[in-house]
Amino acid sequence: MNDKRDLPFVHLLTIIHLLIFPLAILLFTNVLQGWIWWVVAALYFYMAQFYFKGRFGLMFHCLCHRKTFKPALQKKVHFYITWIVCPLFGHAPEGYFSHHLGMHHVENNTEEDSSSTMFYQRDSFKSFLTYFMNFIVLGFKETFEYLYRRKRKKLYTNFTLGEWLYILFCIGMCFVNLKATLVVFVIPLVFARFVMMLGNWTQHSFIDRSNPDNLYTNSINCINTKYNHVCWNDGYHIIHHLRPGMHYTEMPGEFWKRKDEFAQKKAIVFDGIHYLHIFIYLMTKKYNKLADNLVNINGMFDSREQAIAVMRERTKRCVISG
């Protein structure tokens, strides 16, 4: 490995291969019958899609941003994870890399980003459902068109190949074992896209409409939460957009170094809660709960009421004139 700090990735991949792979294969065999199959299927789904999903997904996120392995292994390992491991967690091969690095980090949630939250009312569940359904129905088309317009041939070719081969693979496996295919591949695909859109929605729920491309004010940070310990400091989302290639262990220190800039921009930072908490508080419009966990860096807000007013303002949909 290039960096011993990434050794936990190998530990995680080892556990996944010892637990998730055997159970997935077992579900496609005739060894299990009747209610026993459903018990094992439920156990498998919980482990793969709830316990390991976040850990794996954010590990893969780190692998996409940094060359983790030595040159002789990097391409081979990344290819293996992308095409063999990712589908077990609902990621169509090549889709995440193409969308996330090829578009999201280039556009930073602005209008050219097909997963941008700008044009939605971000404390409205109806608006979120519209956002999610738009991504499910049009996400592939819009991402492909973006990559094609930017002449990123390798990305849009790999993106198309991965998406359609995965769909054809799922269709074919349905004829082998329908219920196992649904549990192992199809439902996780829909669930993964829901989770990713919920995460992106929350990470980019607070946007300064007067300056929507400002990285300090179109994203958030979540600090002092257990989520960061199991998902590689994913809560430091402002830092991640400022320094996409930064190692996850360095993000808290970078945040501390930039705290005066955070205060100057009135960047939104939450303490002790993570994205799911924030999503629920937004959907229920409990801005008082958000204010309870908001970090008032250097006294950047004069009062609790001002902080709530700023958060309410930043969840309003953005309208681009002209």
- For residue range 9-58, what is the model confidence (pLDDT) as tens digits? 999 999 999 999 999 999 999 999 999 999 999 999 999 999 999 999 99
What pLDDT, on the 0 to 100 scale, is given for residue 319? 81
Tell me: pLDDT of 192 over 90: yes
What pLDDT, on the 0 to 100 scale, is given for residue 119? 95
Average pLDDT, the chain: 97
The share of the chain scoring above pLDDT 90, in percent, equals 98
How large is the average pLDDT for residues 110-127? 96
* C-alpha separations of 277 from 81, 82, 104 in Å: 30, 30, 23
What pLDDT, on the 0 to 100 scale, is given for residue 321? 58
Least confident of 136-145, 178-187, 214-223, 313-322: 313-322
* C-alpha separations of 136 from 139, 143, 147, 158 in Å: 6, 12, 18, 19
**Residue 279 — pLDDT band, cuts 50, 70, 90?**
very high
Asked whether 147 and 155 are in contact (CB, 8 A), the reply is: yes
Tell me: pLDDT of 196 over 80: yes
The share of the chain scoring above pLDDT 70, in percent, equals 99
Provide the whole-model pTM: 0.95
Identify the DSSP state of 297.
G
What pLDDT, on the 0 to 100 scale, is given for residue 97? 97
Asked whether 190 and 90 are in contact (CB, 8 A), the reply is: yes
Closest-CA residue to 2 (of 68, 72, 74):
68
How large is the average pLDDT for residues 102-121? 96
Pairing of strands 268-271, 220-223: parallel
